[in-house]
Structure 1
Amino acid sequence: MTSVQQPSTSTKDDILMYLLRQGEATAHDLAEHFEVSAQAIRRHLKDLEAEALIEHRTVQEGMGRPNHLYQISAKGRDRYPAKYDEFALSLLDTMAATMGQDQVGTMLRKQWERKALEYRDRIGTGSLGERVARLVQIRQAEGYMSEWHEVSDGDVRQTGPGYIITEYNCAISHIAESFPSVCGHELEMFQVALTDCTVQRTHWLVRGEHRCGYLVQGLD
């Protein structure tokens, strides 16, 4: 008698991590990826959906049965960012009420300029690839699920060495919801921190995408 492989106790967390990285997946995709039975995966999906950590949309492909595409919910994303931003958000709200929104915006810009210079000092010198790797390590330590990879030939029109920085969560998501300008400052911050390169935004959580992405390219 063939036994059915049982999922590990961490499978739910693994599913959330997979959906955080991939955006969407079917139960079949997940079963294949984790090499467990579809029945076991569906039990976990049912539990995760009951906890409001994931949600699904139904798509019809051809004449067969509709398919469920699962994605992580806002509540599920909140499991990953650090919670230290809650006090900061309360403080910013108080400052906006007393000082005015414009002055708070100016203060946030100055904060990001200061952060950019701090990053640049901590990153130090070296090739662009080495500096990108060190920046990602710093971001990971700050609570971002951040990673990087080198751009392959043909992926983009390259003027020099190219790298993609991807962040699957936002450690200051609650602040960004109330003060969206902080997201715009992040792009400027990376540009100042890395120097001698261009930085372009490729994906943005604020626009409903499942990750933030930045293309970093060296200059000729």
Structure 2
Amino acid sequence: MNPNENTSTRKNVLLFLKIKGPQSTKELAAHLEITEMAVRRHLQSLELDGLVESRMIRQPMGRPLYQFNLTELADDVFTKNYHTLTLDLLQELADEVDEELVERLFKRRNDKLIHKYQSSLEGKSLHDKVAALTEIQKKNGYMADWEQTTDGDYLIKEHNCPIAQVANEYSYACQCELNLFQTLLNTEVERTECLAKNGNKCAYLIKKEHILT
């Protein structure tokens, strides 16, 4: 079987469940025009990935019926244009009031993030703070990792930016992230690469000897 066909069928299963809601193996097979055995194979793979779940429905007579539906995790598979709405709203604010209001909104969001995460990093060594902050960013969709350099400094790398479209239009978003890192780590942080400036990733160099007082 062509691997592309396998991927396409998998996507079609997700799309059909998104549009029609819970479906049985038989219903999916009829729509996709493949065998029920093939449908079960795709459903098993999707269940293992946490994208599909099944439930048993007891029938008045005969064997129980199993229906399959999308999980909350599967919702992230489908395209959303939240960034378009966000950019439109920010532009409206800038036009109707002023650009400074937009910057204040970014700062307010940044302050909330600091308040949310600061207590979980307090009392930790710089090494443990870097590891914890990287884990926070990873959970927030930044595909982050970190390493310690030969000089003993630290480097946090983000290979994805969930707010890339916003950051491309408003550089203050990037400045807020830099400020967030510096505040949470309580040390000097330098951005050495930026996705919004055509970099391959966002990279932050954390100097071990520049602890803020």
Is the TM value for this pair above 0.5?
yes
Is 1:206 the counterpart of 2:196? The answer is yes
**Cα displacement (A) at 1:87:** 3.7
Residues 132, 83 of structure 1: alpha-carbon distance in 2 compared, 3 angstrom cutoff: farther
Measured against aligned partners, the alpha-carbon deviations of 1:127-146 in whole angstroms (never above 9, x if no partner) come to 11111111111111111111
Give the whole-Å Cα distance in 2 for the aligned partners of 1:124 and 1:86: 36
Question: Relative contact order, CA 8 A, sep 6+: which one is greater?
Answer: 1
Specify which of 168, 180, 188 is matched with residue 159 of structure 2.
Answer: 168
Instruction: Tell me how many residue pairs correspond in the alignment.
Output: 138
Residues 122, 143 of structure 1: alpha-carbon distance in 2 compared, 3 angstrom cutoff: same
Which residue identity is paired with 2:121? I
Give the whole-Å Cα distance in 2 for the aligned partners of 1:137 and 1:89: 28
Specify which of 94, 109, 112 is matched with residue 111 of structure 1.
Answer: 109
CA contact (8 A) 2:160 2:201 kept: yes
| Matching of residues 64-75 of structure 1 within 5 Å | none
Match of 1:62 in 2: none
Which residue identity is paired with 1:182? A
Which has the larger helix fraction?
2
Match of 1:26 in 2: none
CA contact (8 A) 2:164 2:196 kept: no
CA contact (8 A) 1:85 1:171 kept: no
Match of 2:134 in 1: 136
CA RMSD of aligned residues (A): 2.8
Q: Give structure 1 stretches of 5+ with no counterpart.
A: 1-6, 13-78, 154-160
**Cα displacement (A) at 1:180:** 1.4
Match of 1:181 in 2: 172
TM-score (norm 2): 0.56
